Structure 1
Amino acid sequence: MPQPPPELIDSRLDLEGRVATLTLGRHDVRNELTGTKLAAEIVEVADWINREEGVSALIITGEGSSFSAGGNVKHMLNREQGSFAGDVYTVQNRYRQGIQRMALAMHRLEVPAIAAVNGPAVGAGFDLACMCDIRLGSTEAKVGETFVNLGIIPGDGGGWLLQRLVGYQRAAEMTFSGRILDAGEALSVGIFLELTEPDTLIPRARELAATFAAKPPRSVRLTKRLLKAAQKMEMPEYLELCAVMQGICHNTEDHLEAVSAFLEKRPPSFQGR
């Protein structure tokens, strides 16, 4: 039975075939993650997709001129109330129950995720883009691991994410300096897979997502799990996992359909079984 999508307040979820697009909808605050419901709604959407086998790819983008500004800087100054108020225990627990849940949800997401970065993505907003498998950038996009500029650290896992994306040396330079990269430099260092003009960003993201979603759904999900597992497993254990998952794939109807379609030189028709 299909699972109903979550009811969202600060974002919008659109479904087109097997592709889900989550649009961060708080452009009034540049899609900040800490003073809105956006981080919690990303968790809801990721967990829903893991239960809903009818979705095979996720696009995340921002409404308005920004992808996401990350944390609310004004709230950081108010130590009496707001997202960052409280003693050490209170603050660390708020991180654990807040933005870190978003990082964990994106890490366990079972389908390919594409960040369509339409504008500035800084701090936690940049890290959200890094949580995705692929990043497409508008020519108006800018990115930055800017936490040190405010005397804080990447509390959402950015230090773990960025070095796996661009290598330790480049990640160290970006994180220690807190500088902003324009779209061209972000492309050159490997943060963006491609750049597009602003009006073609979402069509290109949907085109790419559709190519993923056109593949056998169970195979796509298992492949995503294997890519994540490879980040932490040694080769012998990893190969054992591959053998088990390959056994699963060989026993799916979609595998037989894919082979038949290949030999018969016709387009395949996959059922997710």
Structure 2
Amino acid sequence: MGWQTLELRIEQSLATITLNRPKALNAINLAMVGELEQVVRQVRDDPDVRVVVITGAGEKAFAAGADITEFKAMSPIDAWMFVQRLQRLFLEIERLPKPVIAAVNGYALGGGCELMMACDIAYAADTAMIGQPEINLGIIPGAGGTQRLARLIGKQRAKALVLTGEMIGAQEAWGLGLLNKVVPADHLMVEVRKLAGKLAGNAPVAVKAAKEAIEDGYDMALERALAHEAQLFALCFATEDKTEGVNAFLEKRPPMFKGK
């Protein structure tokens, strides 16, 4: 399928989604939202894909936010419908049963920062800039920027970033807990692919269960979350991959997981 605002490349078990509006700093417009909805479902349903990477085209931006030119004509109802759609999309990314890596190659602002936070792991170039600058437009973040940000770095730090609208560098973002790793810009995709290869070698059912345990359990009371974890732990024991993993360990060989 021909995409207008993004590119999808599938190599063996790795799917790379590239936001492809470099002249607009990969700003997220309505067309991109529609195409992302389709491509996210495509990689979700592809049994050969075990890891997903999201990055931006060019060297300047991962995604510099929503396309502000589309905001000008939006009514409050239009804005509410748009941001709810964006929230659903980012939730779908967050809940993919496969690891999702953000390869932040430049500006990750507004909706771009919100997309980054919906991913499981975020690697960034040392030149990347992160922020939620919506306050400078007289609005607030609407696709997770007030919610995921506070959950990731705490309320006080989140309020400072949102209320000032300031951008921060990759190293500072790493120090706050927004990024997992900062690497030289020309090594970003090398490091991301190295991580993707490691994740792709893990048992798919266990990966899905681990994501579910962490995501669902985070907002549960501890006792209930532990019970949920125990159920998922036991579920893994019903898989062929568990048998393969244990046998491989005892036989001192690499496991060959099949996702069963």
Coarse TM-score class (shorter-chain normalised): over 0.9
Number of aligned residue pairs: give it.
Answer: 259
Distance in 2 (CA, whole Å) between partners of 1:20 and 1:160 is 28
Deviation at 1:165, TM superposition (A): 1.2
Would you say the 8 A contact 2:174–2:180 is kept in 1? yes
Greater mean deviation of Cα atoms: 139-148 or 12-21: 12-21
Residue segments in structure 2 that go unaligned for 5+ positions in a row: none
The two structures have a TM-score, normalised by structure 1, of 0.89
State the AA in 2 paired with 1:117.
V
Deviation at 1:122, TM superposition (A): 0.7
3-state SS of paired residue (1:59): strand
Partner in structure 2 of residue 40 of structure 1: 34
* Aligned match for 1:204, one of 188, 191, 213: 191
1:241 corresponds in structure 2 to 228
Which position in structure 2 is the counterpart of 1:69? 64
The SS at the match of 1:159 is: coil
Do 1:40 and 1:102's aligned partners in 2 also have CA atoms closer than 8 Å?
A: no
Equivalent-residue separation in structure 1 for 2:258 and 2:121 (angstroms): 26
Amino acid at match of 2:88: R
**1:104-150: per-residue Cα shift (whole Å, max 9, x none)?**
21232221111110001111111111111111110110011111111
Aligned residue for 1:91? 79
Q: Secondary structure at the match of 1:21?
A: strand
The answer to whether the aligner puts 1:56 opposite 2:55 as a matched pair is no
Q: CA deviation at 1:197?
A: 1.4
- Identify if the C-alpha distance between structure 1 residues 90 and 10 changes in structure 2 by more than 3 Å, giving closer, same or farther: closer
Deviations 1:211-237 (A, max 9, x none): 111011111111111111112222222
1:246 shift after superposition: 2.0
Q: Are 1:213 and 2:237 an aligned pair? A: no
Deviation of 1:7 after TM superposition, in Å, equals: 5.3
Give, as a single letter, the amino acid of the residue that structure 1 aligns with 2:97. Answer: E
Tell me, in whole angstroms, the C-alpha distance in 2 between the residues paired with 1:259 and 1:101: 38
**In the alignment, which residue of structure 2 is the partner of 1:30?**
25
Contact 2:18 2:57 in 1 (8 A): yes
Q: 5 Å matches for 1:1-273? A: 8-34=3-29, 36-64=30-58, 65-76=60-71, 78-79=72-73, 85-86=74-75, 88-97=76-85, 99-273=86-260
Identity %: 34
- Check conservation: 2:217, 2:228, Cα contact below 8 A: no
The range that moved more, 216-225 or 15-24, is 15-24
Shift of 1:191: 1.5
In structure 2, the residue matched to 1:82 is none
Could you tell me which amino acid in structure 2 is paired with residue 50 of structure 1? Answer: R
Please tell me whether the aligned partners of residues 94 and 120 of structure 2 are also in contact (alpha carbons under 8 angstroms).
no
- For structure 1, the 5+ residue unaligned runs are 1-5, 80-84
Q: Please give the alpha-carbon distance, in whole angstroms, between the structure 2 residues aligned to 1:252 and 1:115.
A: 29
- When structure 1 is superposed on structure 2, of 221-230 and 49-58 the one drifting more is 49-58
Letter in 2 for 1:48: Q
What secondary structure, in the 3-state scheme, does the structure 2 residue paired with 1:15 have?
strand
**Pairwise CA RMSD:** 1.6
Deviation for aligned residue 1:268: 1.1
Deviation of the 1:171 alpha carbon: 0.8
Q: Could you tell me the TM-score, scaled by structure 2's length?
A: 0.93
Distance 2:255 2:140 in 1: 48
Deviates more, 1:237-246 or 1:157-166: 237-246
